Chain A
Amino acid sequence: MKATPRLPDDKVNLPSSHPLSDAAQLIAGVAGIGLVLFALIAYFVELALWLLPHESEAELAQTLWPMEAAATEQDERQQRLQALLDALAEGWEDNPYELQLRIMDDPQPNAFAAPGGIVLVTEGLLELSESENELAFVLAHEIGHFRGRDHLRGLGRGVLFQLVLASIGIGGGDVSLLGKTGLLAGLSFSREQEREADRFGLDLIQRHYGHVAGAGVFFERLAQDDPISARLPSFVSTHPGLEERVVELRKLARKRGYQLEGQEEPKL
């Protein structure tokens, strides 16, 4: 018997497609699945948002902010800000929250609405505002976020998305992402949510002061401070354009017959 040496088949076990086309196909597929997942998650969060009892939210807030709760120092400035917040919140008739004001030691001007009715303001924000009315509008805007439950929406999506990722084995499986950074990242809202919070905030300001002087001045100040919006803190950059917001606020004030001029209270 004679053996004829033959070379092995060079192609049959190799894929015919280029690895990069394979990669493109995979990424497109996964992105598609991701989009569908995100849409589903957003839908379920929207459903659950209005069903979450306030007790559960308070419990959630307790697990999120235990340190801050202990560290809250009741100094005079804090008390005055709290009083302002409470006074503004009176304009919201069916307010289920006991709003709490907390000051964050951060030089960036920023404010957040966090679960449990906690309004966070940074030292930078307190410094930048030049009258009570300016600051009051930012607080009223944050109250507007509570009304729209925006503070739970972003968080809910974030948590659910992480859960889904963890359950399919990617993302490290660390669902305890409710650290401070993760939380604040979950607190960025859509433009429409911001506009709605602006509108409600303006109503609160009118109810409290009888005029809306100072509302929006803060945005103008921010815009002047740093015209390159890319360099602005997240609180601002995820918001609609600053000038655009001021214009819209003026328009709305005129439409509702709010006075744009008035006596502004001195800085707190």
Chain B
Amino acid sequence: MADLIGLLILLLVTYLTGRWFERKHFASIRAREQQLAPVVITTLRSVPGDRPVVQAALVTGSVVVSLDYFKRFLAGLRALIGGRIRAYEPLLDRARREAMLRMREQARARGYDMVINMRLETSRLASAASNGKGTAGVEILAFGTGIKLAP
């Protein structure tokens, strides 16, 4: 019984904190996407247009995310029934957008006009607990080629 109450409290607290952080993060993401709109990202492999390129270099943005207890609990239940793990979707959406934002911030700081050949990669970080079988979190990496065009 005490276990059950502990579980419920843990679920409630992690749900509320998770919700709060998610809202805050989405607000920040939206604001920064607006701000960084002038730094164009494209998945094209070559520079569109015919302005000469004066500088090009790798730009990256990386985010490591993990789950809160509430999301992990829902995913655990989902593993029994099957279907979309809805609890994870906003988390990964946040991570991808945050990674792209960091990449664009880097590009802007170096004075690039655009990032071409942008790619996203995800890798799983093994957890030290449960013999490395569990997942501590995932890293989302956004990378591309920052391009500075001639004025």
Q: Do A and B bind each other?
A: yes
Interface residues of A (CB under 8 A from B): 1, 3, 5-8, 10, 13-15, 17, 19-20, 22-23, 26-27, 29-30, 33, 168-170
With A22-B87, A29-B77, A170-B76 known, 5 other A-B pairs at CB within 8 A are A13-B92, A15-B90, A19-B19, A22-B74, A27-B77
Is residue B38 within 8 Å, beta carbon to beta carbon, of the partner chain?
A: yes
Which of these, A1, A20, A22, A30, contacts B80 with CB under 8 Å? A30
Interface residues of B in 1-54 (CB under 8 A from A): 15, 19, 30, 33-34, 37-38, 40, 42, 48-49
Q: How large is the interface on B (under 10, 10 to 19, 20 to 34, 35 or more residues)?
A: 20 to 34
Q: Are A5 and B30 in contact (CB under 8 A)?
A: no
Q: Are A26 and B37 in contact (CB under 8 A)?
A: no
Q: Which residues of A contact B15 (CB under 8 A)?
A: 19-20
Q: Are A15 and B84 in contact (CB under 8 A)?
A: yes
The verdict on A5 contacting B38 (CB below 8 Å), with A23-B74, A26-B81, A33-B80 known, is yes
What separation, in Å, do the CA atoms of A29 and B80 have in the docked complex? 9
The verdict on A7 contacting B87 (CB below 8 Å), with A22-B74, A29-B81 known, is no
Distance (whole angstroms) from the CB of A99 to the closest CB of chain B: 33
A-B contact pairs, 8 of them (CB 8 A): A6-B37, A13-B92, A22-B87, A23-B70, A26-B78, A27-B77, A29-B81, A170-B76
Distance (whole angstroms) from the CB of B79 to the closest CB of chain A: 8
Is residue B118 within 8 Å, beta carbon to beta carbon, of the partner chain?
A: no
Q: Helix, strand, loop or mixed for chain B's interface?
A: helix
Q: Helix, strand, loop or mixed for chain A's interface?
A: loop
What separation, in Å, do the CA atoms of A17 and B89 have in the docked complex? 11
Q: Are B87 and A19 in contact (CB under 8 A)?
A: yes
What separation, in Å, do the CA atoms of A5 and B84 have in the docked complex? 32
Q: Are B77 and A8 in contact (CB under 8 A)?
A: no
Q: Are A1 and B77 in contact (CB under 8 A)?
A: no
Q: Are A15 and B89 in contact (CB under 8 A)?
A: yes
Q: Which residues of A contact B34 (CB under 8 A)?
A: 7
Q: Of residues B42, B81, B92, which shows the largest number of chain A Cβ atoms within 10 Å of its Cβ?
A: B81
Q: Which residues of A contact B124 (CB under 8 A)?
A: none
Q: Are A22 and B86 in contact (CB under 8 A)?
A: yes
Q: Which residues of B contact A33 (CB under 8 A)?
A: 80-81
Q: Which residues of B contact A7 (CB under 8 A)?
A: 30, 33-34, 37
Q: Are B90 and A14 in contact (CB under 8 A)?
A: yes
What separation, in Å, do the CA atoms of A132 and B6 have in the docked complex? 45
Q: Are B80 and A3 in contact (CB under 8 A)?
A: no
Is residue B142 within 8 Å, beta carbon to beta carbon, of the partner chain?
A: no
Interface residues of B in 106-127 (CB under 8 A from A): 114
The verdict on A8 contacting B48 (CB below 8 Å), with A19-B86, A27-B77, A33-B80 known, is no
Distance (whole angstroms) from the CB of A230 to the closest CB of chain B: 12
Q: Enumerate the 8 nearest inter-chain pairs by beta-carbon distance, A residue then B residue, closest first.
A: A5-B37, A15-B86, A1-B49, A26-B77, A13-B93, A3-B40, A1-B48, A22-B86
Q: Are B114 and A3 in contact (CB under 8 A)?
A: yes
- Contact code string B43-85 (vs A, CB < 8 Å = 1, else 0): 0000011000000000000000000001000101111110010
User: What is the chain B residue whose CB lies nearest that of A32?
Assistant: B81
